[in-house]
């Protein structure tokens, strides 16, 4: 296949194939795929809004391809399985085992999808990089900000808008994981149905605030205390011993604010 023959449908088919092949289908519901233009002005604005270290798509692609021009960011969103969401709804302090398994092992399947999609594009003669894979995850958690924020990227691609909890509310709700790949392949960008209104789909109902055991969610997005969220997870949930969830040394998550809330699996 020539790169000129690669369409939206081709990319969706590759992502759907990888969703099955990597085992992601045991953790997640089927993915939604969206495209953002690498030239979207939001990517430059993130230098101010997030940090000067946050990569533009061009900077991310140049990490592997110094001479290539970034054209498209492919963003995809995988909702957590119904079983995991139902299990987490009943919890009040720690995630249910299935939710924890998605955080620890479903995340690894999504890393494989990112890498394989980038490899597939490279194989078809175009430059591609999965920026998340080039970042330093430990540093991102220490700083509470990464050099490639999947939520912000998905927002630009028309996937959804930020909720009071900080999660991204999509057409399939807020209980999901996100991933993306930057490429020199030109594909038509999706329209943002919410324009530039970055909280349009959140009703501010406060259900997530009442669910949070750490008291980390406030009455406005600006009041959110991310450190409380992180410390609660580290002190009360992190799996450094096998007698907690049965495996060790992987992030376990929490996500109580993403379940038993009106935006769990739909746009409220």
Total binding residues for ligand SF4 by CB under 6 A? Answer: 26
Per-residue contact flags (x/-) with ligand B12 for residues 44 to 63, judged by CB under 6 A: -----xx-------------
Q: Nearest 5°: CA angle at 107, between 195 and 257? A: 60
Among 18, 117, 255, 267, binds ligand B12 (CB under 6 A): 255
Report the distance separating Cα 205 and Cα 182, nearest Å.
35
State yes or no: residue 216 binds ligand SF4 (CB under 6 A): yes
Q: Does 254 bind ligand SF4 (CB under 6 A)?
A: yes
Cα 211 vs. chain centroid, distance in angstroms? 21
If binding is defined by CB under 6 A, does position 207 make contact with ligand SF4? yes
Residue 232 found at the interface with ligand SF4 (CB under 6 A) = yes
Instruction: Evaluate whether 14 touches 181 at the Cβ level (below 8 Å).
Output: no
Residue 35 binding ligand B12, by CB under 6 A: no
CB of 142 to ligand B12, least distance (A): 9
Asked whether position 204 contacts ligand SF4 by CB under 6 A, the answer is: yes
Two tokens, residue 17 = 């194939």
Contact set for ligand SF4, span 139-168 (CB under 6 A):
163-165
CA–CA gap between residue 180 and residue 195 (Å, rounded): 21
* Closer of 3 and 210 to ligand B12 (Cβ): 210
Residue 36 has, within 13 A of its CA and on its CB side, a CA count of: 28
Say whether residue 177 binds ligand B12 (CB under 6 A). Answer: yes
- Which residues bind to ligand B12, rule: CB under 6 A? 49-50, 95, 103, 132, 140-141, 144-146, 148-152, 155, 162, 165-168, 174, 176-179, 198, 221, 226, 229-230, 233, 253-255, 257-258
């Amino acid at each position: 296949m020539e790169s000129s023959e690669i369409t939206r449908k081709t990319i969706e088919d590759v992502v759907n194939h990888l969703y099955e092949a990597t085992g992601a289908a045991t953790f997640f519901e089927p993915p939604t795929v969206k495209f953002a233009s690498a030239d979207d002005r939001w990517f430059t604005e993130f230098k101010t809004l997030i940090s000067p270290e946050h990569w533009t798509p061009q900077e991310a692609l140049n990490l592997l391809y110094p001479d290539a021009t970034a054209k498209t960011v492919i963003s995809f969103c995988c909702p957590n399985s119904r079983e995991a969401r139902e299990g987490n709804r009943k919890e009040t302090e720690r995630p249910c085992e299935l939710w924890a398994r998605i955080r620890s092992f479903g995340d690894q399947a999504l890393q494989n999808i990112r890498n394989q999609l980038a490899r597939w594009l490279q194989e078809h003669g175009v430059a591609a990089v999965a920026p998340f894979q080039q970042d330093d995850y430990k540093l991102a958690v220490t700083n509470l900000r990464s050099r490639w924020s999947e939520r912000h990227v998905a927002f630009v691609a028309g996937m959804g808008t930020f909720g009071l909890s900080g999660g991204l509310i999509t057409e399939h709700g807020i209980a999901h994981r996100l991933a993306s790949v930057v490429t020199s392949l030109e594909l038509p960008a999706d329209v943002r149905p919410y324009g530039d209104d970055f909280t349009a789909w959140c009703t501010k109902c406060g259900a997530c605030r009442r669910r949070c055991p750490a008291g980390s969610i406030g009455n406005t997005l600006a009041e959110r205390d991310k450190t409380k969220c992180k410390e609660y997870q580290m002190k009360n949930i992190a799996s450094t011993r096998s007698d907690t969830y049965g495996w060790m040394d992987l992030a376990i998550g929490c996500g109580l604010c993403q379940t038993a809330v009106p935006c769990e699996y739909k746009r409220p």
